Amino acid sequence: MRTHAILPNPESVEIALGAAPFRITADTAIDVPDDERVLAIGRFLSEWIGRAAAATPPRVEVVRAGATHAGHIALTLGAAAAADEGYELTAAADRVTIAAREPAGLFYGVQTLRQLLPPFVEFGGVRPDPSRPVLAPAAHIVDRPRFAWRGAMLDVARHFFTVEDVERYIDLMALYKLNRLHLHLADDQGWRIEIASWPNLARHGGSTQVGGGPGGFYTQAQYAELVAYAASRFITIVPEIDMPGHTNAALASYPALNCSGQAPPLYTDTNVGFSALCIERDVTYQFVDDVVREIAAMTPGPYFHIGGDEVKTLGADAYNAFVERVQSIVASHGKQMIGWDEIAGARLQPTAIVQLWRPKASPAGAVARGVKVIVSSANRLYIDMKYDSHTPLGLNWAGTIDARDAYDWDPVAMYTDVPESAMLGIEAPLWSETVTNIRDVELLAFPRLAEIAEVAWSPAKRRAWDEFKGRLAAHAPRWTALGVNFYRSPQVEWER
């Protein structure tokens, strides 16, 4: 029988089922130290758990207390058993304490506390009800992540998603301790970010999408808002501008980027591999420099993703030379370059990162130079694949990925020529050829994104499908309370 439904599974959990639980009421407060970052985490916690505790604001009050008090939830920074992103959570009848060395650890401890509480707490319309107390079991949890990179990717190019949609996705990622959101900001069908020095990219290149809808783009102010929203939830935005292929939207916006000097029409179908920047023209590198410079300036995170996938119109030497030239542009703007696994054949700097998407990719040469990898193997992590042949959305070129397939594997066993020390972690891309709105995104992302979060976070020895599927089943009522449109895979006995 399961004693908890914390997902991802912590490194160590003791639940004292016989002991009295902690009860959240209108008298509960959250004690935080005099630290703005922790204060912000306390306010999130209050928002997430407060509605079921008290009918009116301030609900669960956040108090900047030097000390911690009986009956309260305390967030404390300092020497904790767990380092970096780790935390230690102790719940007893008289108090809950979450301790961490860094604010990120407190944020993750708070996600764990959310999941110790009953799912109805998450419902926006919930009101305090004495017949339905808000209880956390007595527990002691010591936890930290296996991998530093726990990512999701959203393709906002094939179909555009609004700032609000992306913020919704960020909120759902945060519940499962994911910490990187890679935004695929440009592809053949759309350019989605305002570039002041090349204004037609967004204005024209962003004006449509797959199927011919109106598309859209983020202004620089909106992008900054997304970056800040993600950062407050300990998620780093990783911007991607795919090049030299997947560039029809840019080529349609500026004739000079084409070797022919002629701009093609906008493209709203879903074939890949037909477009490429004119790599012989100097203006192409001016364009790349301007785009990287403007996006780098708006992106506090250390990464810039150059795409680099599926270029069918260039030979290997020309392609590699392009990647090496772009690599120095990215470095000149102070960012670390990431690219899809095709870039592994170029002379990469040791700070480069290769994102493996083909299950048979073999980046051993790059890894020998010190390059690190992110695992995104399409047959396990592409959450735009169908669950089974009946799934109304999604693609199937990499197979179907049902709940068990998304969970029951390990990145180290998949890429045998990459040692675990060279793996930054894993990331689940969601390509949007077939999804037009956030409800569709949710149907493909849940349950798989939550499952993948456990692959990224939990020690391999703490992962077993038969035990996991029971914990996963318990998230159905939480998703219902949060209004998440999830797939009821028949492989899981979902709780009501």
The alpha carbon of 401 is separated from its chain's Cα centroid by a whole number of angstroms, namely 19
Six token digits for residue 195: 């570039």
Q: Residue 211 Cβ, how far from ligand TNX at the closest point, in Å? A: 14
Q: Which CB, 108 or 415, lies closer to ligand TNX?
A: 415
**Token reading at 414:** 């998949």
Least CB distance to ligand TNX at residue 344 (A): 13
Closer residue to ligand TNX, CB minimum distance, 245 or 447: 245
Considering only residues 393 through 412, tell me which ones interact with ligand TNX, judged by CB under 6 A.
395
Asked if residue 319 binds ligand TNX (CB under 6 A), the reply is no
Q: If we measure between CA atoms, which residue out of 232, 234, 321 comes closest to residue 284? A: 321
HSE toward the beta carbon, residue 228, CA cutoff 13 A: 7
Residues 192 and 161: beta-carbon distance below 8 Å: no
How far, in Å, CA of 364 to CA of 477, rounded?
44
Considering beta carbons, is residue 395 or 414 the nearer one to ligand TNX? 395
- Residues numbered 190 to 229 that lie near ligand TNX (CB under 6 A) are none
Q: Does residue 357 bind ligand TNX (CB under 6 A)?
A: yes
Binding to ligand TNX (CB under 6 A): which residues in 377-396?
382, 384, 395
Q: What angle do CA 438, 445, 142 make, to 5 degrees?
A: 125
Residues 425-464: x where in contact with ligand TNX by CB under 6 A, - otherwise, as a string: ------x-x-------------------------------
Q: How far apart are CA 391 and CA 288, in angstroms?
A: 39
Least CB distance to ligand TNX at residue 387 (A): 14
- Pairing state between β 139-143 and 372-375: unpaired
**Bridge-partner residues for 340, per DSSP?**
355
Residues forming the active site? 310
The smaller minimum CB distance to ligand TNX, of residues 142 and 435, is found at 435
Q: Output the smallest distance, CB 395 to ligand TNX, in A.
A: 5
Q: How many residues does the chain have?
A: 496
75 versus 374: smaller Cβ distance to ligand TNX: 374
* Minimum distance from residue 379 beta carbon to ligand TNX (Å): 11
Burial class of 359 by CB neighbour count within 10 A (0 to 12, 13 to 18, 19+):
middle
- Residue 385, amino acid: M
Q: Which of residues 268-287 bind ligand TNX (CB under 6 A)?
A: 272
With respect to ligand TNX, which residue has the nearer C-beta, 108 or 382? Answer: 382
| Antiparallel, parallel or unpaired: β 149-155 and 423-430 | parallel
CB of residue 355 vs ligand TNX: minimum separation in angstroms? 8
**Element spanning 96, H or E:** strand 95-100
User: Contact between 310 and ligand TNX (CB under 6 A)?
Assistant: yes
Residues 361, 341: contact at Cβ < 8 Å?
yes
Q: Which is nearer to ligand TNX, 117 or 181 (CB)?
A: 181
Q: Estimate the share of the chain in helix, then strand, then coil, as percent rounded to the nearest 5.
A: 35, 20, 45
Site string for ligand TNX, 36-75 (x = CB under 6 A): ----------------------------------------
Distance of CA 403 to the CA centre of its chain: 18
In the complex, the smallest distance separating the C-beta of residue 442 from ligand TNX, rounded to whole angstroms, is: 18
**What residues have CB less than 8 Å from 232, skipping those under 6 apart?**
40
Strands (DSSP E) found in 144-223? 149-155, 180-184, 186-187, 190-191
Site residues for ligand TNX per CB under 6 A: 272, 309-310, 340, 357, 382, 384, 395, 431, 433
